[in-house]
Structure 1
Amino acid sequence: MNECYYDKRMDFFYNRSNTDTADEWTGTKLVIVLCVGSFFCLFIFFSNSLVIAAVIKNRKFHFPFYYLLANLAAADFFAGIAYVFLMFNTGPVSKTLTVNRWFLRQGLLDTSLTASLTNLLVIAVERHMSIMRMRVHSNLTKKRVTLLILFVWAIAIFMGAVPTLGWNCLCDISACSSLAPIYSRSYLIFWTVSNLVAFFIMVVVYLRIYMYVKRKTNVLSPHTSGSISRRRAPMKLMKTVMTVLGAFVVCWTPGLVVLLLDGLNCTQCGVQHVKRWFLLLALLNSVMNPIIYSYKDEDMYSTMKKMICCFSQEKNSERRPSRIASTILSRSDTGSQYKEDSISQGTVCNKSSS
């Protein structure tokens, strides 16, 4: 019967896998990684919160596609939380972690990846439903969209918890991987292959939908009444989704390939030297998505810009209360004009939600 090592700290497993975490994460390198990582995480929190708020405020976005896009932003926000937790539990600290804390660290990362991947699959289903009818948006009800979002997170949490539930090498120490010292190599192979296959399927599905939309748009455009912008709307949304998917595949594929090589026990592949940079590349994906949304969607960009402007105006008005009061008291006509300007500015802010 194999001996289990649940009571060991992570230094036991790192020493067995010959992973030197201390020398790689000290001094200047550690400071640079933490500074860059912290900046990225702050941007992830701010920008993805802005995307979610824009979808909530602007009635133009109250459709299934944008609800799912907001959920993708929520997955990126969750990824930022996972990276923050990773930053404070990596490097020399890694060897001092308990098994459960290390499982939590990796589980957060796995959950964020699965949430993004599953959400893109659900968006593919929603786009297929709408585009087969040549509509801009599908007729999914809010209840069904809510169930789909709950389904996404249920799958993500389950996949992130699989190693904790038993698929690990704590009772079979010879099967442990190098990059993830308490993950079984068999699990890494399953994890990476399933994700890479999902990438391939999504790329094929989106390409087919894109070609279908392009062909139908070209055929129907001369015979369809209505504005040109309305006929092009399905194509614009597809371009946004495909850009997001492309960035996701580019940022995550290198890291998954490295994990696959580790699962296959490739000792000559030098996976230890590139793991840190591929992790930062995966982090970059959560930074890129809000930029893609605002760049590819004019309404999204306009809504986000108005929200930032209105927030700045509110901050400035809070910093000058005495000046406002003295202006109103000293000059009634100027005060009235100031009130009118304030009302008009508030109206502009409120119109961003319409």
Structure 2
Amino acid sequence: MDFFYNRSNTDTADDWTGATLVIVLCVGTFFCLFIFFSNSLVIAAVIKNRKFHFPFYYLLANLAAADFFAGIAYVYLMFNTGPVSKTLTVNRWFLRQGLLDTSLTASLTNLLVIAVERHMSIMKMRVHSNLTKKRVILLILFVWAIAIFMGAVPTLGWNCLCDISACSSLAPIYSRSYLIFWTVSNLVAFFIMVVVYLRIYMYVKRKTNVLSPHTSGSISRRKTPMKLMKTVMTVLGAFVVCWTPGLVVLLLDGLNCTQCSLQHVKRWFLLLALLNSLMNPVIYSYKDEDMYSTMKKMICCFSPEKNPDRRPSRILSTVLSRSETGSQYMEDSISQSTVGQKSSS
């Protein structure tokens, strides 16, 4: 790799030395430990608590598994960066980057699957989709098959080892054409998910406004579908914010932008991408009081007595419960609305 780094004039291998490298390793190690711990709790909570045995939560656990895998990729990157980068063999460098690409693809594909699941359920005015466990397992296997394949594409031949003039600057043995394909496909996936969730959000908002005058349900029950969509869109928004800057930098590199000073910002955008794996457990789990209490019991190794005055879950537990109260409410609301309209006519 020394030849390719020298040819690309990258300064990363020389800059990350001494105190800078120690700080990066310490901060990165802390972040990775938190990623391993928090995402392991999410997966364990979904397995342990029967309230979470629904397609949405299975996909949530798979997203946590993707974030856990991202932690592994970052650990391998930390101990194979800086001065070590130039000493790597081509195969080890491909492994380093392939792990990162696989983790990103796994998270992105899983979010796409969650978007489909949410669309299937919300458009049918239900809280949970009708996906069987077998189909959910097949979807999870599909997510990881796509992720592993995309991570292995450069190793399989889409690289610049046989055409040095096409080599990237940020990824010295990646072909610029591959970087363009990689970043454009991910940005298009971002756009598709944003459009899908905005469509669902507008649909739920419109239905809630139409049904509210014809129902006598509580305010919290009326806002239940909207709370769920706001939570899911928050997760998507965090993912887009954390990954888009890095993808744009890679796209500019693929377009051979020599005046963009990409070397000075790429490390910070990589750290921003790392933060996304920390944010997901907080957004998905801490805001769900049932999930939070389950994780707390596992940490503290005791089961506190239930507090009858404890308020319901802030975001998801009121929505994703076994009784499907929100779904029944929406279906009853439609019936009441229809009856009211017939009476008025």
Q: What TM-score does the superposition give when structure 1 sets the normalisation length?
A: 0.83
Cα drift, residue 248 of structure 1 = 0.3
Distance 2:44 2:344 in 1: 10
244-253 or 16-25, which deviates more:
16-25
Give the 3-state SS of the residue equivalent to 2:306 in structure 1. helix
Cα drift, residue 82 of structure 1 = 0.2
Q: 1:328 to 1:242 in 2, by over 3 A?
A: closer
Matches within 5 A, 1:9-158: 10-158=1-149
Q: Deviations over 1:298-331 (max 9, x none)?
A: 2222222222121799999999999999999999
Q: 1:351 to 1:50 in 2, by over 3 A?
A: farther
Q: 1:269 to 1:311 in 2, by over 3 A?
A: farther
Distance 2:108 2:322 in 1: 60
Instruction: Kindly indicate whether the alpha-carbon contact (under 8 Å) linking 1:307 and 1:349 is maintained by their aligned counterparts in 2.
Output: no
Instruction: Kindly indicate whether the alpha-carbon contact (under 8 Å) linking 1:131 and 1:213 is maintained by their aligned counterparts in 2.
Output: yes
Distance 2:319 2:69 in 1: 46
Q: 1:353 to 1:130 in 2, by over 3 A?
A: farther
Distance 2:204 2:143 in 1: 26
Instruction: Kindly indicate whether the alpha-carbon contact (under 8 Å) linking 2:289 and 2:313 is maintained by their aligned counterparts in 1.
Output: no
Instruction: Kindly indicate whether the alpha-carbon contact (under 8 Å) linking 2:46 and 2:52 is maintained by their aligned counterparts in 1.
Output: yes
Distance 2:64 2:292 in 1: 15
Instruction: Kindly indicate whether the alpha-carbon contact (under 8 Å) linking 1:134 and 1:234 is maintained by their aligned counterparts in 2.
Output: no
Q: 1:41 to 1:207 in 2, by over 3 A?
A: same
Considering fraction of residues, name the structure with more helix. Answer: 1
Q: Deviations over 1:99-119 (max 9, x none)?
A: 111000000000000000000
Distance 1:275 1:294 in 2: 30
156-165 or 300-309, which deviates more:
300-309
Instruction: Kindly indicate whether the alpha-carbon contact (under 8 Å) linking 2:224 and 2:319 is maintained by their aligned counterparts in 1.
Output: no
Cα drift, residue 213 of structure 1 = 1.1
Distance 2:39 2:301 in 1: 18
Cα drift, residue 20 of structure 1 = 2.6
Q: 1:233 to 1:163 in 2, by over 3 A?
A: same
Q: Deviations over 1:11-61 (max 9, x none)?
A: 010011011334311111111111110000000000000011111111111
When Rg is computed on C-alpha atoms for both structures, the one with the higher figure is 1
Distance 2:295 2:315 in 1: 28
Distance 2:6 2:156 in 1: 24
Distance 1:289 1:186 in 2: 31
Instruction: Kindly indicate whether the alpha-carbon contact (under 8 Å) linking 1:136 and 1:233 is maintained by their aligned counterparts in 2.
Output: no
266-275 or 335-344, which deviates more:
335-344
Segments of 5+ residues of structure 1 without an aligned counterpart are 1-9
Cα drift, residue 347 of structure 1 = 46
Give the 3-state SS of the residue equivalent to 2:305 in structure 1. helix
Answering whether residue 322 of structure 2 is matched by residue 340 of structure 1, we say no
2:244 aligned to which of 253, 260, 274: 253
Give the 3-state SS of the residue equivalent to 1:325 in structure 2. coil
Q: 1:221 to 1:257 in 2, by over 3 A?
A: same
Cα drift, residue 293 of structure 1 = 1.4
Cα drift, residue 223 of structure 1 = 3.3
Distance 1:80 1:165 in 2: 24
Identity fraction in percent: 93
**Alpha carbon RMSD of aligned pairs, Å?**
12.5
Q: What TM-score does the superposition give when structure 2 sets the normalisation length?
A: 0.85
Cα drift, residue 229 of structure 1 = 4.5
Q: Deviations over 1:246-302 (max 9, x none)?
A: 000000000000000100111110000011110000000001111111333222222
Q: 1:217 to 1:194 in 2, by over 3 A?
A: same
Q: 1:57 to 1:169 in 2, by over 3 A?
A: same
Cα drift, residue 168 of structure 1 = 0.3
Distance 1:233 1:197 in 2: 30
Segments of 5+ residues of structure 2 without an aligned counterpart are none
Number of residues of Structure 1 aligned to a counterpart in Structure 2: 345
Q: Deviations over 1:110-138 (max 9, x none)?
A: 00000000001000100000001111111
Cα drift, residue 239 of structure 1 = 1.7
1:3 alignment counterpart: none
Instruction: Kindly indicate whether the alpha-carbon contact (under 8 Å) linking 1:63 and 1:137 is maintained by their aligned counterparts in 2.
Output: yes
Instruction: Kindly indicate whether the alpha-carbon contact (under 8 Å) linking 1:306 and 1:352 is maintained by their aligned counterparts in 2.
Output: no
Distance 2:331 2:121 in 1: 45
